[in-house]
Chain A
């Protein structure tokens, strides 16, 4: 097990390293750049040259890359020029991460809590009207683009009916920040109105973001449970006179959940992509929001950190999925 994990971690480092080179080269091959983003109409060739030199952007790309690696080895990822000028890019990432995690976790909880029970019920009553209805709902969930749904929810429930806030993460209540997880911070500092406000702001974006993972997890659960229900050992368990609860828990779900766990893991990675769009619609100041601003303003340092961090998170989630496999299914360990 340990060897398996170490090998995977080494692979991970390799992937992120190669990606860092690709991202670095790609960003610098884009037309425009940090300097014109900062200077705008005021740019003269002289001011442009002076600023490029100050930022070290006038040197050959490979020199810039080597310097970047050298700094990265010391844990320095450069300084933001556009998102939060003067702030260390990694700190920008850390300060924006909680928003995205809060949103993704909320969406994932909504998706999983609804999808697994509904998937099980669907499989138990396959081809009943309830089952068909749920399948259609899940199809719609996959088909509708996230940002379209986000926009629709926002327009109907916030703009037209004022049920929820239009955008942002919290009302301006002067809340104390501890971890930047707003819901948690409110609990920590006993500013419960802050938590409530944060939750209220979370509802629409997380519902919008939950639709796709919900649909996918539901379908996989349904298919997987259907398959397991037909297995001999389930029939054996039932005929032994075990209670329905034990059969469901120990025999059906434990086996049926394997592919579901994989799917949840993969969907978590996909959530990041969806979060970028959702955050944009709801002005939810997380990673997605920072990515968009960083791209507009050609904030190289922040873009590099965000893209690499996103890749890193994706790879780590994959690793966790594999490990959880090993935990759930002993056969994996011996391979």
Chain B
């Protein structure tokens, strides 16, 4: 075992060198000249917290995946940059029939997918049917379709989608089974993007199989073809980098940078250091604690309008004392939400008066949050005969959400408030994905902290999510006297076609929830931020966290 024993290593290296003759370099030489001028770089590099799971947005469920697919796909409807409002994208206009069950979409003309396939009404219907006709494991994988459209072609009765017809080259008619405020707004969601029928067929796109404890996905999910300013160039799994390049077939303006790179860096402090070192140009959700430091170092912190809600959920089925409205109101008066928002949430956060942010249509401007009034909380509790009652109150660990940067600190402040008002608090904590979410949906906690970030601008996306399903909702409203009424009112409001009337109906429901029902306590709206280097311009922050990067320039 002298040093001569290292000979094999040397030999191996020599062998490797001699093999270079066989291994061909597949690299193209350098970047293309398009995008980027003499004063700007031709690449924008974004630090992502996680890897995209696949590139077919129909089977995507998480923000990191959508962040990438959003750059390479478009939907019939788009979202106006910087807002939560819809705007035309691949469809120039959409007109409902009088009963709101049939929608006529006039399509943008002369549009092609990145593989050259023409985009027309037939392509629209092919896409709609493809999503509707998912089978087997594909149905579980198409999570967003299930969530927003209800079901698939094997159970047409439960599905919002009914059929699609190509009237002519540029006119598609989509029929739905019931009138809802969500349609056609939901067509702006990334999951329902239009993809190339040619490529979908060639890549066997629907071939999702359950195997062992997971799903296997078809070739198409690694080689997407859409309509977007960028197209996928390479997902280098070994180096955890996704590279997109400008799509020459795109109908709109050329992207400002020819290349868009996502560098996957799971650790937040590492993302911050990469930005400091200049190896990335921006990243998402910087910790509010770091905002000032980041700005002092010459970066820009872009604060998005808050499109979320943090609430304290209550479960009257688990703890029957919570069936008494006075007890629930006592909790609302007991919580010093003003102070919590001031001390713990980023600048721009507000106390919530209802279960949705003010940018959502149907928001009731006249409602005021319950004021902080410990004396009133005490007297309400006494009136209900529940002074000294035990409230089991849970918070999640190992997580930070846009609406809840530091769950433990928020929880601790509220525990103090509740104890001061005469509650005995039994503190429970569980890891976010280690029993907390399960615990909430299985009704294991009396009270808990949770929130929601909206998908699109519709009251139903907030209120409907929380209270529409009477039999199964986290608040267990089925054991409360108003539960059935609330669920029915929400469904009725959602079906109103006229926007003005619909808003009025929702405003009334918001008032009832705040004043008469109080199934839980709305806490706050918190603006999530992203951070970019001082050299980056043209990035518009989106309340839906749905930024597109084609307008972004990076100075040298």
Q: Which residues of A contact B (CB under 8 A)?
A: 30-34, 36-48, 50-51, 54-57, 67-68, 71, 76-81, 83-86, 95, 98-99, 154-155, 158-159, 162, 165-170, 172-178, 180, 182, 184, 187-191, 249, 253-254, 257, 261, 280-283, 285, 289, 292-293, 296-298, 300-301, 324, 327-328
Q: Which residue of B lies closest to A68 (CB)?
A: B212
B221 pairs with A254, CB closer than 8 A:
no
Cβ B277 vs Cβ A32 within 8 A: no
Residue contact A85 to B146, C-beta cutoff 8 Å: no
Given contacts A31-B431, A47-B146, A85-B215, contact A159 B277 (CB under 8 A): yes
User: Is there contact, CB below 8 Å, between B216 and A95?
Assistant: no
Could you give 30 example pairs across A and B, Cβ below 8 Å? A32-B435, A33-B433, A34-B214, A42-B143, A42-B147, A45-B442, A54-B140, A54-B215, A56-B212, A79-B215, A86-B214, A86-B216, A86-B217, A155-B273, A162-B277, A165-B279, A166-B270, A166-B274, A167-B267, A172-B241, A176-B26, A178-B23, A187-B17, A188-B16, A189-B23, A261-B1, A280-B267, A283-B265, A289-B266, A298-B433
Partner-binding segment picked from B90-98, B230-238, B516-524: B230-238
Interface check B441, CB cutoff 8 A: yes
* Alpha-carbon distance A67/B438, docked complex (angstroms): 25
- Give Cα distance in the complex from A81 to B212, angstroms: 10
Whether B28 and A174, one on each chain, are in contact in the complex, defined by CB atoms closer than 8 angstroms, is: yes
Q: Which residues of A contact B1 (CB under 8 A)?
A: 254, 257, 261, 324, 327-328
Q: Are the C-beta atoms of B213 and A32 separated by less than 8 Å?
A: no
Q: A31-B434, A86-B53 are in contact. List 10 more A-B contacts (CB 8 A).
A: A38-B61, A47-B147, A162-B277, A172-B241, A174-B28, A175-B239, A180-B238, A182-B238, A283-B240, A293-B50
Q: How far is the CB of A243 from chain B (nearest CB, A)?
A: 15
Within 8 A of A (CB), among B28-68: 28, 45, 50-51, 53-54, 61-62
Partner of A46, one of B2, B19, B273, B472: B472
Q: Is the interface of A mostly helix, strand, loop or mixed?
A: helix
Nearest residue (CB) in A for B215 is A86
Q: Are the CB atoms of B212 and A78 closer together than 8 Å?
A: yes
Distance A85 CA – B141 CA, assembled complex (angstroms): 11
Q: Is the Cβ of B28 less than 8 Å from the Cβ of A47?
A: no
Cα A158 to Cα B23 with chains together (Å)? 33
Complex interface: chain A residues within 8 A of B212 (CB): 56, 67-68, 71, 76-79, 301
Contact of A78 among B20, B61, B213 (CB under 8 A): B213
A98 and B238 form a contact (CB under 8 A): yes
Say if the beta carbon of B249 comes within 8 Å of chain A: no
CB distance from A173 to the nearest CB of B (A): 8
User: Roughly how many angstroms separate A296 CA and B1 CA in the complex, as a whole number?
Assistant: 43
- B267 near A281 with CB under 8 A, answer yes
Residue B430 lies at the interface, judged by CB distance under 8 Å to chain A: yes
- Interface status of B210 (Cβ within 8 A of chain A): yes
Residue B469 at the A interface, CB < 8 A?
A: yes
B343 within 8 A of A: no
Q: Report yes or no: B28 in contact with A159, Cβ–Cβ below 8 A.
A: no
- B contact residues around A42 at 8 Å (CB): 61, 143, 147
Known contacts A155-B273, A158-B273, A55 near B239 by CB under 8 Å: no
- Determine the chain A residues whose CB is within 8 A of the CB of B430 once the complex forms: 31-32
Q: Please, which residues of chain A bring their CB within 8 A of the CB of B27?
A: 173-176, 191
* B263 interfacial contact with A, CB 8 Å: yes
Do A44 and B213 contact each other (CB < 8 Å), given the known contacts A32-B434, A172-B261, A187-B20? no
Query: What's the minimum C-beta distance from B314 to chain A, rounded to whole angstroms?
Result: 17
Question: A334–B408 Cα gap in the complex (Å)?
Answer: 63
Are A78's CB and B214's CB within 8 A? yes
Do the beta carbons of A189 and B441 come within 8 Å of each other?
Answer: no
B238, B261, B264: most-surrounded residue (chain A CB, <10 A): B238
Contact present for A285 and B240 (CB under 8 Å): yes
Decide if A166 touches B238 in the complex (CB within 8 Å): no
Bound complex: CA of A84 vs CA of B518, how far in Å?
Answer: 43
List residues of chain A with CB within 8 A of the CB of B23. Answer: 176, 178, 188-190
Q: Does B170 contact A (CB under 8 A)?
A: no
Q: Is the CB of B20 within 8 A of A188?
A: yes
A282 to B442, CA, bound (A): 38
- Report the 3 A-B pairs with minimum CB-CB distance, sorted nearest first: A31-B435, A79-B214, A78-B212
Cα distance A56–B140 in the bound complex, in angstroms: 13
With the chains together, A236 CA to B102 CA distance in Å?
A: 102
B243 touches A172 (CB 8 A): yes
Max count, chain A CB within 10 A of own CB: residue among B61, B217, B266: B266
With A and B bound together, what is the CA distance between A281 and B13 in angstroms?
30
A328–B211 Cα distance when bound, in Å, is 48
A283 touches which of B211, B270, B433, B437 (Cβ 8 Å): B270
Are B437 and A79 touching (Cβ within 8 A)?
Answer: no
Flag if A166 contacts B273 (CB, 8 Å). Answer: yes
Contact A168 B263 (CB under 8 A): yes
**A77 and chain B: residue at smallest CB distance:** B212
What chain A residues lie within 8 Å of B472 (beta carbons)?
44-46
Given contacts A32-B435, A41-B450, contact A168 B214 (CB under 8 A): no
